[in-house]
Structure 1
């Protein structure tokens, strides 16, 4: 169909492929990422997934990938969680196969793009989308446009040193594993049951996350910070400690204006991938 766009969110454990029409995902598919497989095998599995969902009946493909991207050439570089992807000419491979345009950017950027075009980011001129999942990523919208920087690397706060490790180690799913040897989903389930230890863990997480958001306020001073990713669904359990810590930010007039809230769109990154072609 002429108006279908394929959106793809590639992660270390799964690839989420969606067929988007009229700004909505009307069918989708999730397949496992063969993260330790050779480069070509992973590309072939992505092609098979797209074909099983849509055949060749679409106008183009947008992809979000957790790494450095040459957006113009569509080259993916040095994915930590997919070791064989060192220098992957993904755009060329897919365009050669499907004969359709392909756009690629960092997956945190697709989250921000999705919020800007389809979600709560519509009303903001300048905002930052923060993805909280296996890792920590940020997508930056300035003057209504995505700012991705060189090799799609703008906003890579994850690797900034923090305490004895990095921001990502304390502000993503790694926090629960490194500090408490537990999965974030398990802590969430316990918090839902009112477990005091789980609630305390989320309270601590909120404090660490707030410190990273304060850096965003210092650097960009956006109108809003929108939280996404699996951990954002636990927002009610760390909102209090997050806001208490955010309120130590010294510029009170900025604090009065900035909005911090979780995304209301579970598949926003897939939509955001498609948004690169949905002009």
Structure 2
């Protein structure tokens, strides 16, 4: 039996999954992300944790194919990372660093990209040769899969759907420094921002609250949902006309809204896309928080082929 690890590194937690070579998740854990002046403590902690699990489960390193790692930032094909501001790490090669720490082969990718790969491999995207995953959480992320592989672009920044410009009249800045990005309207925080425009007297509002109210027929909440999905539908029409994917897989916390989200996205996607692309599939992601770990495992398993 051969094994591999999928390690999904986030700003607050590191998710670690142990898989066999058939892609079956055998166990999973979460450890806290430690922020220190030397941001590479995150890698050291992950490496030490893997070492402890190998010992605990009596697995030798000869039985381990390697480690797949997802990180919140662009990763070049050779493992080079320019900067991970959320983790306080500057320019380095994550594959080389992690391999030195563990003595195992390492393959790394952007977290949104590996989540997309996980969904295409073992989730809602299974069976689709090409797909785009859109993650609607605190921000808006994206991952492009073509013929079962990540399309990361020349510098690892491919799939940054959240920073497509959708409103040229916006005066507030996005976190990326531009104005009028999709993330400012279709993320969980963006939906709350729109809601405050329509429902200024409603306290403690969240994206979930908005969708719950919309499902009950609240007119103002329906306007909020429709506006957020109008931006999203138009943006995805442009993505479709560039990439021609078979399917869009919608993940992230906002995706828990379910059918109402898909219906409103399609409402604005269909009239804004060319006829040949109107029949694309829209589906809710199914792997949840495990998608990144599955994608990381796939990353290392496919590199071993």
Global fold match (TM > 0.5): yes
CA shift for structure 1 position 80:
3.6
- Give 3-state SS (helix, strand or coil) of 1:19's partner: strand
Rounded to whole Å, the distance in 2 between the matches of 1:53 and 1:192 is 46
For structure 1, which runs of at least 5 residues remain unmatched after alignment? none
Which residue of structure 2 lines up, in the alignment, with residue 264 of structure 1?
Answer: 286
Q: What is the aligned residue count? A: 274
Q: How does 1:1-279 map to 2 (within 5 A)?
A: 2-21=1-20, 22-35=22-35, 37-55=37-55, 57=60, 58-72=64-78, 74-82=79-87, 84-163=88-167, 164=170, 165-180=180-195, 182-185=205-208, 187=210, 190-191=212-213, 194=216, 196=218, 198=221, 200-256=223-279, 258-266=280-288, 267-279=290-302
Which residue of structure 1 lines up, in the alignment, with residue 200 of structure 2?
Answer: none
Rounded to whole Å, the distance in 2 between the matches of 1:191 and 1:18 is 36
Are residues 244 and 265 of structure 1, via their aligned partners in 2, closer, same or farther at CA, if it must alter by over 3 Å? same
CA shift for structure 1 position 147:
1.7
Rounded to whole Å, the distance in 2 between the matches of 1:259 and 1:17 is 31
Rounded to whole Å, the distance in 2 between the matches of 1:36 and 1:117 is 35
Runs of 4+ deviating beyond 6 Å: none
CA shift for structure 1 position 5:
1.0
Q: Deviations over 1:123-161 (max 9, x none)?
A: 222221222222222222223432211122112232232
For structure 2, which runs of at least 5 residues remain unmatched after alignment? 171-179, 197-204
CA shift for structure 1 position 232:
1.7
CA shift for structure 1 position 208:
2.2
- Give 3-state SS (helix, strand or coil) of 1:30's partner: strand
Are residues 25 and 167 of structure 1, via their aligned partners in 2, closer, same or farther at CA, if it must alter by over 3 Å? same
Rounded to whole Å, the distance in 2 between the matches of 1:260 and 1:108 is 18
CA shift for structure 1 position 67:
0.8
- Give 3-state SS (helix, strand or coil) of 2:292's partner: helix
Q: Deviations over 1:189-227 (max 9, x none)?
A: x44984835555434332222122112112112111111
CA shift for structure 1 position 264:
1.7
CA shift for structure 1 position 24:
2.3
Greater fraction of residues in strand: 1
- Flag the structure with larger Rg: 2
- Check whether the contact 1:191–1:237 (CA below 8 A) recurs between aligned residues: no
